[in-house]
Amino acid sequence: MVRAKRSGRRSGKPDTKAEILTAARALFANEGFESVSMRRIGAEAGVDPSLIHHYFGSKDDLFLAAIELPLDPAPEIAAVLKDGGLDGAGERLMRAFVTIWDGPHGDKLLAVVRSSLSKPSMSFVLKQLFEHRIIKTVNDVLGDQVDHVPARASFIASQIFGLVVARYILKLEPLASLGVDELAETVGPTIDRYLTMPIEHLVK
C-alpha cells in the first residue's frame, strides 16, 4: 500500500479516501477539472498524490468518484459515434442514452442530476461532466467532420437534459412511457439538426 509522505499524520486514517474526495469535489467545483492537479488535491487533502493514484486511479477516475457517477458516459458516446459516423448519429445517441437511463444505473444517475440541479454550488457536477467528458469525447470522434463542437454540444445538451427532466423527473406522458425506438426516432432528428445546422454566426 502506498502511504502519504508529505503528511504522515493523516495517511493511515480510515477517512483518507473521504478526505481526498472532499478536497477533489471542492477544487473541481471552484476551479474546474482542467486547472486542478492531483498534486493540488493531495496538498488540500493532506496526502501524497501517489496515494490518490493508488486509491482512485487517474484524474478522470477521481472526478467520476468525486461526483459519484455510477458510470462514465464517455466510452459509450465514443462507441456510438464511431460506429456509423455522423449519419444517423442523433438516433444512435438517443438509443444509447435511453437504454442507460432505463437500465439499472438510472436511479443513481437521477440522484446525481437532481443534486446538481437543486443547488447552485452543485451545478459544477453536470457542467464539468459536460465540458470535460462529453465535449472532449465528441471532439475526439467527430472533430474532423463537425465544426464548433462545444457550441453544438450545448444545444444537444439542452435537449438531452430536458429529456431527463420530462421523462425521468416529471414523467410527462406520453414521453415517459415511450420505448427506446420511439424516442430515438422522434428526438434523434433534433440532435442531428444541432450537429449540422449553420452555427458559425453564433460562435464569437
Residue 204 CB coordination number (10 Å)? 4
Applying CB under 8 A, the span of 58-66, 74-82, 90-98, 110-118 interacting with a copy of itself comes to 110-118
Rounded Cα distance, 140 and 76, in Å: 13
Q: Decide if residue 107 touches a copy of itself (CB under 8 A).
A: no
Rounded Cα distance, 47 and 49, in Å: 6
Q: Decide if residue 182 touches a copy of itself (CB under 8 A).
A: yes
Q: Decide if residue 79 touches a copy of itself (CB under 8 A).
A: no
Q: By rule CB under 8 A, what count of residues binds a copy of itself?
A: 48
Write down the number of H helices and E strands in the chain: 12, 0
Rounded Cα distance, 99 and 180, in Å: 7
Q: To the nearest whole angstrom, how small is the minimum distance from the Cβ of residue 193 to a copy of itself?
A: 7
Rounded Cα distance, 120 and 64, in Å: 19
88: its cell numbers: 444517423
Provide φ and ψ at 34, rounded to 5°.
-65, -40
Q: Decide if residue 126 touches a copy of itself (CB under 8 A).
A: yes
- Reference 20, options 6, 49, 89; nearest CA is 49
Q: To the nearest whole angstrom, how small is the minimum distance from the Cβ of residue 143 to a copy of itself?
A: 18
Applying CB under 8 A, the span of 2-10, 23-31, 81-89, 180-188 interacting with a copy of itself comes to 180-188
Applying CB under 8 A, the span of 55-63, 81-89, 93-101, 186-194 interacting with a copy of itself comes to 186-194
115: region left, alpha or beta (phi > 0 left; psi from -120 to 50 alpha):
alpha
- Reference 42, options 59, 24, 15; nearest CA is 24
Pick one of 160, 184, 188, 195: the residue that binds a copy of itself (CB under 8 A). 160
Applying CB under 8 A, the span of 7-15, 84-92, 96-104, 167-175 interacting with a copy of itself comes to 167-175
Q: To the nearest whole angstrom, how small is the minimum distance from the Cβ of residue 29 to a copy of itself?
A: 13
Q: Decide if residue 170 touches a copy of itself (CB under 8 A).
A: yes
**Residues within the interface to a copy of itself (CB under 8 A):** 114-119, 123, 126-127, 130-131, 150-151, 153-155, 157-163, 165-167, 169-176, 178, 182, 186-187, 189-190, 193-194, 197, 199, 201-204
